[in-house]
Structure 1
């Protein structure tokens, strides 16, 4: 994927004014900040979150040292990495926890040593962190579910002939729980029943695929759609239908606007995804981190799990607005998007490679 255009970054920066004392930010003292991510199943952390965080830190605090670790979905490994960055002098830790419950002890330990913890993307419900930065996860779940429901109704799919599958995220991820709550709210009152739902361990696409395969055997043509919580699980669902010879694939939702997810939207195999450029949240986390280093208490628009929070509103992407919201804004280039078998789909959407 290409980097966000300068225009989009400039517009986003205006909405990310978490501290008023800009001059103080620019003059922030040097310090060590850690950026600890949860897994590599999603490519976003390596390709977008960390590069976005590092770039913003370089601008706001050139003398700051940034430590980066990825736990690869291993709770014990994240514990070791947390201890390691503390021993290396981290004064602020940006934490996207593998296990939101287990992370409570990490927050306690850090705060006991005067170290600030910024919960990132995934909250720590049982223990207040010093700040929480994320897109609105419950809003994401509700938006993708409502988008699917509207699509089914527009297509005249009857509510009494079947229902939907729900493929949730990891059971140890509090953000996945928020997305699940949003999905339930989005489906409520729609008339479409939930045939079955599944919490996908570690957000692993192969596990989502295996579960959906079983449901295809169980329910067959009764499945009129799938609410999948992210693009990885969506890809697993699509693969399950294709392996079973189902054509066309029922509409499948997604989230994260990964390149693979966007390509499935282009090909018509995935109905929607959520655009939430990780660089936006990463930049916000960097601003908060530098504020803590400067001794400033960042302002918050709301409180979630007793933690001052900044939540950003995402955008639902379908084939109808993919070109204007993603390609025309420079978030993804046609060269990257319209490869091989996706070239024909791009042409139909008016995307010139």
Structure 2
């Protein structure tokens, strides 16, 4: 082959390659490098921490199973923020790069995640806020009526106090993390039930951490006096565990303590009498609702029949929402609220340590 012919062949090859590259670029010109193609059937589930027992034990497997039931060829990508807002922001970015089409997220910090959500939505990703209403342009929100949760907690405390529920009765309130929008709603509902009926003598945030809640409870005892505390409002079961240990260490017994999430340890404390109540937000209906919402968004289906109400986030966004009904659980209704739906079995609750208490409660 002479030099002229060689140049012609090379030139033709180069043109062919350029046309091929241009064609590939055109097919994905609305995608950034690293994103998957538009046929992706991948949904991400991002949960906030591994300390709250429900997320790994219930939410993750239930959500995944429901997605697979609704869309057999859909994939679920999972990540847990381990209570680190910055880590969760990175996880959102990573999921976008992987090419997920819908992100279901329970925000570790609802305000801090806003910019990450905006970036994801700008790349065509739909975002569903799960359990906690994240800020930013989310497409839908699935949770419970959180003000009602707080009301149930406050009312259960009043029920436990009975005739002792007077304006003179001093109650300690340990609220959730202020960065969690749900915490403000729990607090609002609790005050709605308690204000004017008892005195909130000490109120602080426990940051959803048992260790912090224990420290706050110790400070409350020092400030109010052990004999002057009529009851304790704890916004969730994790913190109630720390509070219960502090009360025991201070020799304080027979005062009601609330909680939330129906954690196994909390149910055992209720059976034993060291915690009066918890609030059960049924895991399966919430996970199923979020999975249905995610699959509908993935498939371009309408969500109006699912999102029957609307909530306003901290960023002012109006978000189509589905709110489920919570249930207050005490020793009296553990069977109906938790055992009937096989949330726990009798053997899980009634270990050797709690066998006698379970028998007295009619669980064995």
| Shared fold (TM-score, shorter chain, > 0.5) | yes
TM-score range, shorter chain: 0.7 to 0.9
Mapped to 2, the partners of 1:106 and 1:174 lie a distance apart of: 17
Structure 1 unaligned spans of 5+: 1-28
Q: Take 1:311 and 1:329, find their aligned partners in 2: how far apart are those partners?
A: 20
* Counterpart residue number, 2:119: 109
What SS does structure 2 have at the residue aligned with 1:321? helix
Contact 2:118–2:137 (Cα < 8 Å) also in 1: no
Matches within 5 A, 1:188-337: 188-190=195-197, 192-201=198-207, 203-219=208-224, 220-248=226-254, 250-299=255-304, 300-305=307-312, 306-337=318-349
> Would you say 1:143 and 2:155 are equivalent positions?
no
Question: Which residues in structure 2 correspond to 1:117-128 (within 5 Å)?
Answer: 117-124=127-134, 126-128=135-137
Check the 8 A contact 1:135/1:276 in 2, yes or no: yes
Q: Aligned ranges for residues 68-79 of structure 1 at < 5 Å? A: 68-79=78-89
CA RMSD of aligned residues (A): 1.3
1:133 corresponds to which of 121, 138, 142:
142
Tell me the TM-score normalised to structure 1 length. Answer: 0.87
Preserved contact between residue 37 and residue 95 of structure 1 (Cα < 8 Å): yes
Distance in 2 (CA, whole Å) between partners of 1:312 and 1:158 is 29
Q: Does 2:47 correspond to 1:33?
A: no
Contact 1:323 1:349 in 2 (8 A): no
Report the Cα offset of residue 278 of structure 1: 1.5
CA distances 1:314-342 after superposition (whole Å, capped 9, x unpaired): 11001111122222332210110001221
Aligned residues of 2:40 and 2:101 also touching (Cα < 8 A): no
Query: Separation in 2 of the partners of 1:215 and 1:144?
Result: 20
Shift of 1:295: 0.5
List structure 1 runs of 4+ shifted beyond 6 angstroms. Answer: none
Distance 1:314 1:345 in 2: 26
| Matching residue within 102, 107, 110 for 1:92 | 102
Shift of 1:136: 1.3
Residue 349 of structure 1 deviates from its aligned partner by 1.3
Count of paired positions: 318
| In 2: Cα distance, 1:346 partner to 1:307 partner | 44
Q: Counterparts of 2:308 and 2:227 in 1: how far apart (Å)? A: 45
166, 178, 183: which one pairs with 1:176? Answer: 183
Aligned partners of 1:279 and 1:258: how far apart in 2?
Answer: 15
1:156-189 per-residue CA deviation (whole Å, 9 max, x = no partner) reads 2152543111111111111111111111111123
The structure with the largest alpha-carbon Rg is: 2
Contact 1:323 1:350 in 2 (8 A): no
Aligned partners of 2:340 and 2:299: how far apart in 1? 38
**Aligned with 1:40: secondary structure?**
coil
Q: Which residue of 2 aligns with 1:338?
A: 350
2:24 equivalent in structure 1: none
Is there any run of 5+ residues in structure 2 with no aligned partner, and where?
Answer: 1-38, 313-317
Equivalent pair of 1:36/1:93 in contact (CA under 8 Å): yes
What is aligned with 2:65?
A: 55
Q: What TM-score comes out, normalization by structure 2 length? A: 0.85
